[in-house]
Amino acid sequence: MTPPHRVSSRPRTPLPPVPQTALGVGAILHGPRGLLLGRHRHGTWELPGGMVEPGESFQETVVRELAEETGLTARPTDVRLLGTLLDQVDGVVRVTVAARVTAWRGEPADQPDEKVGDWRWYPLDRLPQELFVCSAQALTAWRPGLPVDHTPAHFTPYAQP
């Protein structure tokens, strides 16, 4: 039997593409104590999360960022991807994958050299003012009835198994 013909691929040019997209995750941790939010050094309240690194799955990014920012531990199997949010800021397409963390271990604590800290649990009916836009978008994708204002984003939900 003849092996199938293999097809090659290559970049268009030897130059890297012009940076035009930011890809990150936002982790929603909600339980009996409320929703976990931290304060960024620039003043916004945010979900744990951050930028995806090359080679990581979105679940792995959520687990890594959660540990780096809060000290909490979770497993990739504890992460449920909700969908992708897409918006644009100053010509940069921003892609945020909203995720729900269903189980975690530990107590959230400020971590050295992180930009977000002062971790607190908030009831959904008493969220703080000045949410970070990507966090606000993720929260309303998760719970569309939340009274949270933000710039629009296109949300593509993922099919749940």
The total number of structural domains that make up the chain: 1
Domain holding 88, by residue range, is 22-157
Q: In the structure, what pLDDT confidence band is assigned to residue 17 with cuts at 50, 70 and 90?
A: confident
Residue 141 lies in a domain: yes
**Higher pLDDT among residues 2 and 43, named by residue:** 43
> Residue 89: pLDDT above 70?
yes
Residue 62 lies in a domain: yes
Q: Mean per-residue pLDDT for 35-59?
A: 97
% residues pLDDT > 90 (the chain)? 82
User: How far is 115 from 104, CA to CA, in rounded Å?
Assistant: 21
pLDDT value at residue 161: 58
Q: Which two tokens stand for residue 160?
A: 């749940």
- Residue 22 in this model has a pLDDT that exceeds 80: yes
Separation between Cα atoms, residue 87 and residue 85, nearest integer Å: 7
Residue 129's contacts (CB-CB under 8 Å, 6 or more residues apart) are 45
The reply to whether 121 falls in a domain is yes
Phi, psi at 59, each rounded to 5°: -65, -40
For residue 87, give the CATH number of its domain: 3.90.79.10
List phi, psi (to 5°) of 78: -85, 0
pTM recorded for the entire structure: 0.90
